Amino acid sequence: MRIEKCVQGGAGFGRLPDGSVCFVEGALPGELVEIKVIERKKDFAKAGVLNILEPGKGRRIPPCPYYGKCGGCNAQYAEFELQVELLRQITLDLFSRTAKINLPQNFEIHCGAQWGYRYRAQVFFEMRGSNTVIPVKKCMVLSEKLNEKLKEVPLTKKIHLFDNQSEKFLGKYIHADESVFFQSNLELLPKLIGEVARAANEGELLLDIFCGVGLFSAFLQGKFERVIAIEQNSLCQKFAERNLGKNCEFYAMGAEEWCSQNAELLSEACVLIDPPRAGITNELCDVLCKNKSRKLLYISCNPATLARDTRKLLNAGYELVDIQGFAFYPQTFHLEMMAVFNL
């Protein structure tokens, strides 16, 4: 099979002799590969690579000895420069097909260190797809401190590792621990915060929806007269209340419920929304589209759902004025994005 392109998640896209779509894990665009079909569905098949007959430019031998056993870094077979370019092409394709818009071919993807960048991790001591325990002496993407912690923990099925460098983050003390989500790549995070601050500018009211521990509000609160932070995860509340200032209000409730009850505030505010991978629900999207904000900043950990939601926001009258990518997880096909919408 000749691989045409890579799709969301990193799999190669090709067609079987009968013309049906096949997704091939571990294949790169342009490569000629011998495959083994491992799963068939009504509309597509999944396959693995048996042999690479014509390797693509930028392919490499994965440098990690645990590659293929550990499922954590699924892009190591591509040089990092190629990883970034594949993320760009995947995103361009997603937005063309789903959002029905053409992003600039060279839209920016911000990058940091390729290795040793993770200050937070969940570690599973099982071989990928099995119950076999794999002792890992050193993980190439973990920080030095987390690798030291890795040596100290028992080989249980799952552990959380957290090196809270965020305690002295950009001159602020940001409170968090392993029980809540916090961005793992602390080298690249200041760039995202800076771009969010630039786009948000300043004003009377900031609504920080899905605020987590209040990270963005902690850095934006000095630019707004009033900040309202909303987060349903009750574990985040104690940290958010410590991270936020006197001009900040915190509500431990669902985004849909809060926005429905306070819809009149949406049109007055700069809205910052950082939803889970599933994106914004239809209910929340309807409220945001009916009560349009002067500015909407959408932080996304899933380009596919961002592209879907972008189409809905554009249909409602928003204008996409900026979009950027952030390669927070090198050696994977994961991309985080920031999109800015104005009226």
Give the span between the Cα atoms of 331 and 334, in whole angstroms: 9
For the chain, give the mean pLDDT. 91
At the second CATH level, the architecture of 95-112+184-342 is 3-Layer(aba) Sandwich (3.40)
pLDDT at res. 19: 92
pLDDT at res. 166: 57
Straight-line distance from the first to the last Cα atom of the chain, in angstroms, rounded to the nearest whole number: 46
- Lowest mean pLDDT across 125-134, 246-255, 260-269, 308-317: 125-134
Question: What residue ranges do the domains of the chain occupy?
Answer: 1-57, 95-112+184-342
Which CATH topology does 1-57 take? OB fold (Dihydrolipoamide Acetyltransferase, E2P) (2.40.50)
- Residue 150 pLDDT exceeds 80: yes
255 touches 282 (CB < 8 A): no
Closest residue by Cα to residue 178 from 239, 254, 116, 241: 239
pLDDT at res. 129: 62
pLDDT at res. 135: 76
pLDDT at res. 224: 95
Task: Write out pLDDT tens, residues 121-133.
Answer: 877 666 666 667 6
- Residue 95 pLDDT exceeds 60: yes
Task: Write out pLDDT tens, residues 63-82.
Answer: 999 998 887 899 999 999 99
- Lowest mean pLDDT across 3-12, 74-83, 160-169, 174-183: 160-169
- Band (157; pLDDT cuts 50, 70, 90): low
- Band (120; pLDDT cuts 50, 70, 90): confident
- Band (292; pLDDT cuts 50, 70, 90): very high
325 touches 337 (CB < 8 A): yes
Active-site positions read: 301
Closest residue by Cα to residue 90 from 327, 343, 339, 342: 327
